[in-house]
Amino acid sequence: MSDTGAKKSVGLKSLPDTVSAQTRAVHSGTRRSQYGEVSEAIFMTQGFVYDSAEAAEARFIEAGREEFIYARYGNPTVAMFEDRIAAIEGTEDAFATASGMAAVNGALMSMLRAGDHVVSARALFGSCLYILEEILTRYGVEVTFVDGDDLTQWEAAIIKGKTRAVFFESVSNPRCRLSISPPLRVWPMMQALWWWSIMCLPLPCFKTTANWALMS
């Protein structure tokens, strides 16, 4: 299929605002090919074809939202997944990785450098703890662990100008400890988010067991 054909027949259809959260969770981000499949197509290809060398060059310089270059950077199947997760989470965008630990490691490694400080909830999935305690510290990042449900501990642990991220799991695995996010504690959560936004701190939150949609 040529690029032009792909643009005509494959497309991201946005859902109307009136659609329910449930429908959004099932259909957001769907890109339907020229075959009109009902379910999401699974794209097995690594590469994509171009009309010309010039078209290839242009796409490599800057790919449009519905243009793909190489499956490791993204493909229509992954794009559907990312858009659906963003719709469920109510976020601007989403980025998919091949595993949970790749997401945690990639997120933290890309935002931190030697000398930075992270505050994290103590109750974590073992491998997250390993990344924070063993890997980040090896690269000169300092980590302070706090009781996730105690906002005063979070506040006390933050070092102005040095803390670059705060980290927690919405419901920790395996101990099911709640950090400051559950709906029953909406006010502390709002307070914390407001406060973190003032501090401009990124908030990596791991949600294997529950995302905002499931918790509200």
Ligand X SMILES: Cc1ncc(COP(=O)(O)O)c(C=O)c1O
Contact indicator for 206, 100 with CB cutoff of 8 Å: yes
Number of C-beta neighbours around residue 69 at 10 A: 15
Structure-token pair, residue 201 = 């701190």
Nearer to ligand X, 145 or 206 (CB): 206
Q: Radius of gyration (Cα) for the chain, nearest Å?
A: 20
| In the complex, minimum distance from the CB of residue 139 to ligand X, in angstroms, rounded to a whole number | 20
Nearer to ligand X, 77 or 127 (CB): 127
Nearer to ligand X, 154 or 206 (CB): 206
| In the complex, minimum distance from the CB of residue 135 to ligand X, in angstroms, rounded to a whole number | 14
C-alpha dist (Å) from residue 23 to 48, 163, 200: 31, 39, 34
SS3 113: coil
Site residues, ligand X (CB under 6 A): 99-101, 125, 127-128, 169, 173, 206, 208
Closest CA to 140 of 162, 167, 107: 162
Closest CA to 208 of 164, 184, 186, 175: 175
72 CB burial (10 A radius; 0-12, 13-18, 19+): exposed
The amino acid at 119? V
Closest CA to 26 of 40, 37, 41: 40
Nearest residue to ligand X, scored by beta-carbon proximity: 100
Q: Tokens 């908030």 map to which residue?
A: 203
| In the complex, minimum distance from the CB of residue 124 to ligand X, in angstroms, rounded to a whole number | 7
Nearer to ligand X, 30 or 179 (CB): 179
| In the complex, minimum distance from the CB of residue 205 to ligand X, in angstroms, rounded to a whole number | 10
Nearer to ligand X, 19 or 101 (CB): 101
| In the complex, minimum distance from the CB of residue 101 to ligand X, in angstroms, rounded to a whole number | 4
| In the complex, minimum distance from the CB of residue 211 to ligand X, in angstroms, rounded to a whole number | 12
Nearer to ligand X, 6 or 166 (CB): 166
